[in-house]
Amino acid sequence: MTVLRRYIAVVDRINHAIGRVAMYGIFALMAVLLWSSVSKVFFSPSMWTLEMAQFIMVGYYILGGPYSIQMGSNVRMDLLYGEWSPRRKAAVDIVTVFFLIFYLGVLLWGGIDSTNYSFKYGGERSPTAWRPYLWPIKVTMCFGITLMLLQAVSELFKDILRLRGEEVPAHVV
């Protein structure tokens, strides 16, 4: 059980730190969208703003996802779940987290394959007028999905500890 606790502590600490930084991505997104609006009114429209906003949003969402899972901010069906005991919640979560782990594994596999394609053919570029390289966002996605997969396993370990009646490490602050 010491290994589980150590894994939980390390993964939670990493995802907490990255999530706290990623949450400020909303300000970068706001800046790009503000520039887009200003440039359309006062200057010539910028070609890069829509795609850059999409890239920032992907980073914000993907890198903030593990932090959201860690903080329990993910969406659950509270119709039944909210009334259950912590042990029953843990038992159900142990079953359902395997669906999440499988999904994230398939997503990571596809992401790695797509990223390799991007590198293999001399730097895949977007088909838009701006034509940015796509590998940076694909690497970000693979990194974020990996962090989310690690956090899902951390949540599985926390549920195992809860089911055994042991104390679960508190959120990293």
Q: Check residue 45 and give its pLDDT.
A: 81
pLDDT of 171 above 70: no
* pLDDT, mean of residues 133-158: 95
**Residue 52: partners with Cβ closer than 8 Å, 6 or more residues away:** 32, 132
Q: Check residue 63 and give its pLDDT.
A: 95
Cα separation values, 67 from 51, 55, 101, 123, 160, Å = 25, 19, 16, 31, 20
Would you say 137 and 55 are in contact if contact means Cβ atoms under 8 Å apart?
yes
Query: Distance between CA 170 and CA 125 in Å, rounded?
Result: 43
> Using one digit for the tens of pLDDT, what is the confidence trace for 28-60?
999 999 999 998 888 888 889 899 999 999 999
pLDDT, greater one: 128 or 149: 149
pLDDT of 173 above 50: no
**Residue 43: partners with Cβ closer than 8 Å, 6 or more residues away:** none
Would you say 89 and 168 are in contact if contact means Cβ atoms under 8 Å apart?
no
Query: Distance between CA 28 and CA 61 in Å, rounded?
Result: 13
With CA atoms as reference, report the closest residue to 18 among 75, 66, 52, 74. 66
Query: Distance between CA 70 and CA 59 in Å, rounded?
Result: 18
Query: Distance between CA 64 and CA 57 in Å, rounded?
Result: 10
Query: Distance between CA 132 and CA 140 in Å, rounded?
Result: 15
Identify the sign of the CA torsion 55, 60, 66, 68. Answer: negative
| Domain edges within the chain | 2-163
pLDDT of 93 above 70: yes
pLDDT band at residue 130, thresholds of 50, 70 and 90?
confident
3-state secondary structure of 134: coil
Rounded mean pLDDT of the chain?
Answer: 90
pLDDT of 172 above 60: no
Q: Check residue 165 and give its pLDDT.
A: 84
